Amino acid sequence: MHTSTTTLLLILSAFIPVSGVILAITPYLMPSGECFAVTIPSARSHDRALVGYRRMYCGIMVACTAAMTAACVAAACLDPTHAFLACFIVGMLALIIFGYILMLVFRTKVQHIKQERGWQAQRQRSAAIIGPDGHVPHPISMWWNLLYVPVFAVTLAIGYAGYQRMPEHIPLQVNLSGETTHTIAKSPMAIWLPLLMFGLLAAVLIFTQYVIAHSKKGVDVNDPESSAYAYGLYARAWSVFTLVAGLIVCMLAPIMELSFAGALSPRQAMIIVFGVLIFVIGGSATLSIALGQNGSKVRITQRGDMDIPSDDDAHWKLGVFYANHDDASVFVPKRFGIGWTVNIARPATWALFVVAAALTVGGVVAVTMLA
C-alpha cells in the first residue's frame, strides 16, 4: 500500500474514535441542571442514580466506538477503498443513531426519577442581564466575515492565471489510492466551480456566526452573573473558532484551483483536505471538552441549588427538538450536545428551512451542471 494512501486511511480512521469519544462524554459536558435532556435541581446532579446512568452511557458508547474503529481498521486491511469507505460511513452513522437512541433510553429513566422524587419547578423564573455588561464576553463582530473576500479573490486570480495550464480533462474526484474517478471538461466554468462550492460553505458559516450572536442566552437563573460570563466566553470562543476554521476550510478553494492547474497532484490536494478536516474536528472537540455546553466547564462559581427555577421539559420533544410558541427566540442552546438548535414553533424557523432547502438544491444543481 502506498505511503500516502496509508496516511489518508489513518486520518480517516481517526474520525470515528474522536467522534465516538465526544458522543460518549456528552452527558458530562452539560450544565449541572440538565441530565439527558431533563431539567433537574443542580444540587442533584451527583445523585447516585444519575451518576450511574452517565457512566453506563459513556461505557456503552466507548465500547461501540472501539468496535466500529476495529471494524474500520480490518476493512482498511482487506480493501482500502470500497470496503473501508463503506465501513467508515456505516460506522459514523451507526454511532450517531445509536448514541441518540441510547440517550432517549436514559432520558426516560431520568424522567422517572424526577417524577418519583418530586423534582419540579414551583414557579417559572427567568433572568436578564441589564445595565452595563462590558465584563461579559460577546461573539465577534459579523464584519470579521469580510475576511472571506480576499480568500475568494485569490482563488479567482489563481484560476485565471492557471487556466492555460489546465488539462483538457480536469481531475475532480479521486479515490483513497489517488486514482482519478471523475473528471470535467476544461472550460471557464472550472474557474468558478471552487468559488461556488466554497462560497456556499462560507455562507453557511456566516449564518452560523449570526446564530451564535442572536441565540437565546444559556443563563442559569440561580447564578446569573457567573453563568452569563461563562456563556459569553463560550459564545465568543465558538464564534472565533467558526471564523478561523471557516477561513482555513475555504483556503481549499485556491488549493482546488492549483490542483486543476497541475501545480498540486490530486493525492497532495487530498492530504491537505484531510489535514484541514483534522484541524476542524480536533479544534471543535477541544473546545467542546474545555468549555462544555453553555460554558458549563468554565463557570466561576457552581451553585448547587435544590430548586428548579424553570422547567421547559415539555417543550423539548424527544430531547432535541424545541417547540415553544411563547418563546420569541428562534435560536436556542441545545439541551443535549454542544451548540445551538432552533425553535420549531416559530414561523421564522420554517422560513429559514425553506430558504436553506432552496439554496441547497440550487447549489447542488449548479455544482452538478458545472461538474
Q: What confidence tens digit (pLDDT) does each residue in 126-138 have? A: 555 554 455 788 8
Question: Pick the residue with more confidence: 106 or 88?
Answer: 106
Give domain limits for the chain: 1-119, 137-371
Task: Give percent of the chain above pLDDT 90.
Answer: 36
Q: How much is the pTM? A: 0.85
Contact 178, 259 (CB under 8 A): no
As a whole number of angstroms, the distance between CA 209 and CA 205 comes to: 6
Per-residue confidence (pLDDT) for residue 177, from 0 to 100: 56
- In the numeric block, the cell 479521486 is attached to 174
- In the numeric block, the cell 497541475 is attached to 262
Is the pLDDT score of 7 beyond 70?
A: no
Per-residue confidence (pLDDT) for residue 100, from 0 to 100: 94
Q: What confidence tens digit (pLDDT) does each residue in 214-242 have? A: 998 877 776 677 778 889 899 999 999 99
Per-residue confidence (pLDDT) for residue 128, from 0 to 100: 55
Most confident residue range from 67-71, 155-159, 237-241, 359-363: 237-241
Which letter, b or e, does each residue of 62-81 get, where b requires 16 or more Cβ atoms within 10 Å of its Cβ?
bebbeebbebbbebbeeebb
22: cell is 465526544
Question: Pick the residue with more confidence: 252 or 163?
Answer: 252
The Cα angle at residue 278 between residues 272 and 284, in degrees rounded to 5: 140
Residue spans of alpha helices (H) in 46-185: 48-78, 82-116, 148-162
SS3 47: coil
Per-residue confidence (pLDDT) for residue 206, from 0 to 100: 93
Residue spans of alpha helices (H) in 170-215: 189-214
User: Which residue, among 103, 114, 113, 23, has the nearest Cα to 66 in the 3D structure?
Assistant: 23
Most confident residue range from 81-90, 117-126, 233-242, 258-267: 233-242
Per the DSSP assignment, residues forming a β-bridge with 333 are: 340
Contact 224, 129 (CB under 8 A): yes
Per-residue confidence (pLDDT) for residue 322, from 0 to 100: 92
SS3 181: strand
